[in-house]
Amino acid sequence: MEDRQTPIDQFLAHDDAFWDALGGRGRVKRADEVDDDHTVTMSRRRSLKIESRKLKLASMSRSESFKYLVKEKMEGASQILHNKWWTIWISSLTVYALFGDDIRFLATDKSADPWFYSVSIVALIFFIMEIFLNWLVFEVFINMFSFLYFTNLSSQIPFFYIEWFITGLVTQDGV
């Protein structure tokens, strides 16, 4: 009968294990010294994750560790692509790409053209970046159609953007 723990002993053993996992109890802090428990827990988890990653990489060969690191980077790029704010940003740029030129013609005069052209170039850069990230992360994008899509995208750069850019360079240089 002595082998059996009472509920209070089980609770105390669990409590001690919990505090040991967090790095010990330490001294009792005053109210103004107390850290946020969430911050402490997350930093401890992060450090444990880094330690386990170092041990895992140390046990691998060079080629295995290279593959592991590349896979890790691809997961990071995938997280960017599936992020809510990235999706909202790309969607808003898509709406601008569809209707921005019409708004430029209908609602503004010639002096606003450089602003619209600048936003269009930024949108084009983000679209290319998204396609490149998709190409890296998803194997479906690695085929002939992705090459054709890149070619199509590059052909969509209107000549007046290039003309606007070159004209701006020439007039700024005084030539």
Give the model confidence (pLDDT) of 117-164 as tens digits.
889 888 988 988 888 888 778 776 666 666 776 677 666 666 556 666
What Å distances lie between residue 168 and 5, 48, 117, 147, CA to CA?
82, 54, 12, 32
Among the listed residues 113, 125, 128, the one whose alpha carbon sits nearest the alpha carbon of residue 161: 113
Cα angle: 162, vertex 130, 123; to 5 degrees: 35
What's residue 66's pLDDT?
87
Model pTM above 0.85: no
What's residue 36's pLDDT?
63
Q: Where are the domains of the chain?
A: 1-59, 62-175
Indicate if the pLDDT at residue 89 is higher than 90. yes
Q: Give the separation between CA 175 and CA 173, rounded to whole angstroms.
A: 6
Among the listed residues 6, 7, 37, 32, the one whose alpha carbon sits nearest the alpha carbon of residue 21: 37
> Would the CA dihedral through 18, 20, 23, 24 be positive or negative?
positive
30-82 pLDDT, tens digit per residue, is 655 556 666 777 777 888 888 888 888 889 888 888 888 888 888 888 888 88
Residues 80-106 have a mean pLDDT of 91
Indicate if the pLDDT at residue 20 is higher than 70. no
What's residue 94's pLDDT?
92
